[in-house]
Structure 1
Amino acid sequence: MKKMILVGRSECGKTTLRQALKGKEIRYEKTQYVNHYDVVIDTPGEYAETKGLARALALYSYEADVVALLINATEPYSLYPPCITPVANRPCIGVVTQIDASGADVEQAVSWLELAGCDTIFRVSSYTGEGIWEILDYLKDEGDILPWDKKSEAEKPRNVISTKMM
């Protein structure tokens, strides 16, 4: 799996998305420092909101294969300036979170991410699971086996003749 860093303002859904990608129970956790998980780097929203701390995001992005810019579908404004993605020397994707929230304007959030420079944009709901598998599929490297790629025991052929010598 490609390693992804999650960037966005406070309460935009970074930690919730991480929990959903891992198949964990969704519960509120305030991210107070940069957390390195096996394939996700979760960052505090204050890093993206504060000019002095934003530099740290650039440094942490060097440890990732993909930079994910997150924006909540209910946001009244975008935190990201136009054409910001070239600053990262990694592929940048956009993730619109909380697409099922009351008052969500998904298309506005998508246009803000496009303006920031994201070519690939995912629309997700961590609570319903919508769009989660698409992100996992995007992060999948050649040879990775995702849970839905595995065949169940019932689907495996039963009449296979072993070629092992006895």
Structure 2
Amino acid sequence: MRKIILIGRSECGKTTLTQALMGKKIEYQKTQSICNENLVIDTPGEYIQTKMLAGAIALYSYEADIVGLLLSATEPFSLYSPNITGQSTREVIGIVTKIDHKNADSHRAERWLRLCGCKKVFCVSAYTGEGICELLNYLS
């Protein structure tokens, strides 16, 4: 299986998605530092939200085969600049999380991820399991 690094702002669902991908019980856990699991590298949201910490993500992306940009379907905005994926030396995919939320707008989140350059976008719910199998198959 290919290893993926999950990048996104705080509370977008990176750790919950990591637990779902690893087949673990879903429970809230605040990621305090970069966690390098077998299949997933989980990063704290503060790293993408803080310019001084963003360099750590760039360094850690070399440990992964794929970069996953996460965006919650409940977000009113996107942190990602248009065409940002061109800066990566790894394949970059988009992952829309929280698609089962009552305020979800997964189409808007998918459009934002495509605008930033993601050619492949997965829509997932760690709680219902929707989209998880497709993402795992893509990583294998």
Short-chain TM bin: over 0.9
CA distance in 1, matches of 2:63, 2:22: 19
- Higher Cα Rg, which structure: 1
Counterpart residue number, 2:61: 61
Counterpart residue number, 1:95: 95
Counterpart residue number, 1:150: none
Asked if the contact 2:99–2:125 (Cα under 8 Å) also holds between the matched residues in 1, the reply is yes
CA distance in 1, matches of 2:91, 2:19: 22
SS of match in other structure, 1:96: strand
Root mean square deviation of aligned Cα: 0.5
* 1:133-163 alpha-carbon deviations (Å, 9 max, x no partner): 00100000xxxxxxxxxxxxxxxxxxxxxxx
Tell me whether 1:124 sits opposite 2:124 in the alignment: yes
How far apart are residue 86 of structure 1 and its match?
A: 1.1
Structure with larger RCO (C-alpha < 8 A, sep 6+) = 2
Structure 2, unpaired ranges of 5+: none
Superposed structure 1 runs of 4+ greater than 6 Å apart: none
Identity over aligned residues, as a percent?
61
CA distance in 1, matches of 2:51, 2:125: 29
Report the TM-score when normalising by structure 1: 0.83
How far apart are residue 39 of structure 1 and its match?
A: 1.2
CA distance in 1, matches of 2:14, 2:110: 17
* 1:88-123 alpha-carbon deviations (Å, 9 max, x no partner): 100000000000101111110000000110000000
CA distance in 2, matches of 1:98, 1:27: 15
Counterpart residue number, 2:12: 12
The one-letter code sitting in structure 1 at the alignment partner of 2:132 is: I
How far apart are residue 52 of structure 1 and its match?
A: 1.0
CA distance in 2, matches of 1:37, 1:132: 17
Counterpart residue number, 1:42: 42
Structure 1, unpaired ranges of 5+: 141-166
CA distance in 1, matches of 2:25, 2:74: 23
Asked if the contact 2:22–2:39 (Cα under 8 Å) also holds between the matched residues in 1, the reply is no
SS of match in other structure, 1:62: helix
How far apart are residue 75 of structure 1 and its match?
A: 0.2
CA distance in 2, matches of 1:50, 1:108: 24
For these two proteins, the number of residue pairs brought into alignment is 140
CA distance in 2, matches of 1:132, 1:33: 24
The one-letter code sitting in structure 1 at the alignment partner of 2:121 is: I
CA distance in 2, matches of 1:77, 1:111: 11
